[in-house]
Amino acid sequence: MTNSSSRFEAFAPGTAVILLLAGAAGALAADMPLLALSLIAAGIVGVAAGVVIALRLHTAVGRSIRVARALGQGDFETRDLVFDQWGQAGELTEAINDMADHIDAFVREASAAMEAVRLNRYYRRILPNGMEGALLRASSTINEATDMIQERVQAFEVSTDEFGATINSIVESLVNASRDMGGAATRLGEGASSTDQRATDAASSSSMASADVQRVAHAATQLTGSARDVGREIERSAAIAQDAVSRAEETKRIVAGLSEAAEKIGTVIGLIEQVAGQTNLLALNATIEAARAGEAGRGFAVVAQEVKALASQTAAATGEITRHICDVQSATRAAVGSIVGIGGTIAEINAITAEMRGSIEAQIDATTEIAQGVSNASEGTRQVSDRISGITGIARETSTLAQSLFSTSDALSAEGDRLSVTVREFLVRLRRGPLDRRQAAERVPGGHTVTITSERGTATATCVDISLTGGRFAGQLPPLKIGDEIQVTGEKDIAIPGTVRWIRDNNIGVEFKVAEMTPAASNRLRYLVGKGRSKAVAA
Amino acid sequence: MKPRVQPTSEEITFLPNEIIVSKTDLKGRITYANSTFSRICGYSRAELMNAPHSIIRHPDMPRCVFKLLWDQIGEEREIFAYVKNMTRNGAFYWVFAHVTPSFDNEGRVAGYHSSRRVPDRRVVRDVIEPLYRELLRIEASHASPKEGLAASFAQLMSIVKSKAASYDELIFSL
C-alpha cells in the first residue's frame, strides 16, 4: 500500500461523510427529502466505516506501542504478530517489525563482533548487508575499531614476543652468568681453601725452616768459635815448634862443641899415649941401667919397674878413654843427625801449621759468612712466615668472599628464574587481554569444602568465593604465610596450585597459578566458576 | 502436511539492503517471520507461524551443515552458513544465514534468531556449491543416513581443519 493510498484511507471516509452531509443539506434546501434521507443514511454508513477504521488503527497503534516499549526496554524478541492487515494498520505493523528486525540484527551483529574481539578473534566483522544509515555507520565504526584493535594486538603480540624473547635471553644470560659465577665461586673457594691449606703447610714448613736456620746459625757460630780455638791451638803449636827448632839448633851447636872437645881430648890422649910410651921406654932403659949398675942399681931397678907399670896403666887408661871418646863422638854425630832430622820435621810442622792457619782463617771467614747468611736467611724466613700469615688471611677472606659470591650467584639465579616466571605470567596475562581478565576476575560464590596443603601442613577449609584466577578460603587453615605455595584440592581430588596473597582473620586470598595448572585443574576451575555463576543467577 | 514440493531451477533473489528475519522456539518452530521472508519464500505468515523451519529446506542442502548449525547454537554460539532454501513453488534462493540464540531475562536460551542476507555469488558458485555437492554425495553414498551424516560431517570438519583454525574463521575468510 502506498502513501497516497494511506492518505486516501485516512481522509476518504471523512471527506465522503462531509460531501454526503453537504449533499443532504442541499437536498433539504431543494425540498427533496428522500434524497436528503438517503444521503444522511449514506453519511451514517460513512461515519460507521470511519469508526471501524479508527478502531483498527487504534489497536494497531496499541500493538506498535507495545513493541516500541519492549524495544525501548532492550527486548528485541517482541514483534507485532498480527500480520497481513490491509491499509495503514498493516503498514504500521510491518514498519515497527522491520525497525525491530534491523535494530535486533545490528545488536546481534555488534555484540557477536565484540564478543569475538573479546575472545581475540579478529576475523569476525559486522556484515554491512541489510544495514542502512546510522546502523551502517555504527557497523563500519565497529569494524574499523576491530581492524585497529587487530592491528594493535598484532603489533602488541610482536612487541610482547620480542619482549619475552629479550627477557628470556636476559634471564638465560643471567642464569648462565650466575651459574658461571657460582662455578667460579666454587673454584675460588676451593682455590682459597687449597691456598689456605698450602699457606698453612708453608707456614709450618717456614717455621720449621726458621728453627733449622736458627740451629744452623747457632752451629755456625759454634763452628766459628771452635775454628778460632783450633787457630789459637795451632798458633801455640807453631810457637812451640819454633821454640823446638831453636832449641834443636842450640843442641846441635852444643853437640858440635862436645864433638870438638872430644876431638881435643883425643889429641891430648894422643899426647899422653906418646908420653906413656916414652916413659915405658925410659923405664926400660933405667932397668937395663939398673941391672948394669947391679946392687947399686937394684933400688933404681925397682923404681924403674914401677914407672914401667905406671906407663902401662896410663896406656891402658888412654886406650879406654879413646874408646869412650869414640863412643861420645859417634853418639854426638848421631845426636846431630837426629837434631837435623828434628829441625826438618819441625820445619815441616811449621809449614803445615802455616797452611792450617790459612785454612782456619778461611774457615772462620766462611763460617762468619755462613752465620751472616743464616742470619739473613732467618730474617727471610721470618718475613716469609709473616707473608704466609698474610696469605692465609687473604685466603680465608677469599674463601668467605667466594661463599658469599656463591650465595649471591644462587640468589641471582633464583631471581633470574623468578623474573622469567613473572615475565611469562605477565605476558600470558597481557595476551589474554583486559576483557578476558575482567571475566577471569569475576568472583562467584563457592561453598564447597577443600583441602589446603602447604609445606607447613594440611587442613580442611571452605571456599568462600572463586574466580578463574583465584579464590578466598576460610575455616581451619594450616599455618600459612603470605607468599606460601599451596595446593587447593577439591571434591574431585584435582589439585589447583596457587600462592597465598593475603591473610585476614581466618580467611586467605589465593592467587591460582594459571600457567602451571593441568588441563584437568583448568577444566575443574572453569566448571566451578560456571556453576557458581549459575547459582548466583538463580539466587 | 502439505504435498511435497518439487524443486525447480528457478532462482529467486532479493536486495542487499533486505534481511530475511525469522525467529524460532527451541525446537525450530517458527515464532516470527518478517515480510521479506514471507515474500521471498512464498508462504504466508499464517503458514509460516508454528511451522518447522525445515519447511524451506532444499534437498540440495547437505544435512551435516544443519548438524553443525545445531551443534554450534546448542553451545550458545552464533553461526554463519550459506544456505540454499526452497520456496513454496520449488524455486530456490541462496542466503548467507546468521543464526544466534535469543535469551530470556534470566539469561536462558529462549529460542533462535536467524538473519539472512544476500550471499556473495562468487563464494556460492566457486566454493559452496561444489562443497555441498561433495558433502551431499557422501551422505547419499551410505546406506544408513546416520553413517552418511557422520561421514559428511567428518569430511566437512577435515576441510575446515585443513584451511583455517575454525569453521567461523573459514567462513569469514571466504
Give pLDDT tens digits for A479-495.
788 888 888 888 777 88
User: In whole angstroms, what is the distance from residue A153 CA to residue A389 CA?
Assistant: 66
pLDDT digits (tens, 9 = 90+) for A247-292: 777 877 877 787 777 778 778 777 877 887 787 788 777 878 777 7
Residue A202 is assigned to a structural domain of this protein: no
CB A144 within 8 A of CB A122: no
Chain A residues whose CB is inside 8 A of the B46 CB are 83-84
Quick: pLDDT tens for B103-137: 887 778 889 999 999 999 999 998 899 999 999 99
| pLDDT of A135 | 86
Domain total in chain A: 3
In this structure, the answer to whether residues A303 and A376 fall within a common structural domain is yes
A94 → closest Cβ in B35, B78, B115: B35
Does A182 map to a domain?
Answer: no
Q: What is the mean pLDDT of chain A?
A: 78
Residues A361 and A472 in one domain: no
Listed residues A380, A397, A415: the one ending a domain: A380
**Highest mean pLDDT (candidates A32-41, A258-267, A419-428, B68-77):** B68-77
Nearest chain B alpha carbon to A133:
B17
In terms of domains, do A473 and A374 share one?
no
The shortest CB-CB distance from A537 to any of B23, B45, B106 is to: B106
Q: What stretch of H or E contains A464?
A: strand A457-466
pLDDT value, residue A438:
46
pTM tops 0.80:
no
**Residue A503 domain-assigned?**
yes
CATH value at residue A499: 2.40.10.220
Residue A201 lies in a domain: no
Residue in the block written with cell 778461611? A362
How many whole angstroms separate alpha carbon B71 and alpha carbon B36?
27
Select from A380, A407, A431 the last residue of a domain. A380
Region A161-186: what's the mean pLDDT? 75
Residue A507 lies in a domain: yes
The answer to whether residues A293 and A365 belong to one domain is yes
CATH code of the domain covering residue A309: 1.10.287.950
Q: Is residue A124 part of a domain?
A: no
The sign one gets for the Cα dihedral A4, A10, A12, A15 is: negative
Q: Residue B98, by phi and psi: left (phi above 0), alpha (psi -120 to 50) or beta?
A: beta
Same domain, A271 and A373: yes
Element (H, E) at B81: strand B79-86
Is there a contact between A130 and B16 if contact means CB atoms under 8 Å apart?
yes
pLDDT at residue A4 in the model: 45
Domains of chain B: 20-173 (3.30.450.20)
Give domain status of residue A287, yes or no: yes
Same domain for A239 and A372, yes or no, is yes
Select from A118, A147, A181 the last residue of a domain: A118
Q: Are A342 and A450 within one domain?
A: no
**Structural domain harbouring A360:** 235-380
What is the nearest CA distance from A26 to chain B, expressed in angstroms? 48
Please tell me whether residues A335 and A457 are part of one structural domain: no
ipTM: 0.88
Query: How many residues does this entry show for chain B?
Result: 174
Q: How far is B144 from chain A (nearest CA, A)?
A: 36
Report chain B residues touching chain A, CB-CB < 8 A: 16-19, 21, 23, 32, 34-35, 38, 44-46, 49, 78, 96, 98, 100, 102, 106-107, 110-111, 113, 115, 117-118, 168-169, 172-173
Same domain for A343 and A464? no
- Contacts with B80 (C-beta within 8 Å, 6 or more apart), sequence order: B96, B97, B98, B99, B168, B171, B172
Whether A105 has a pLDDT exceeding 80, the answer reads yes
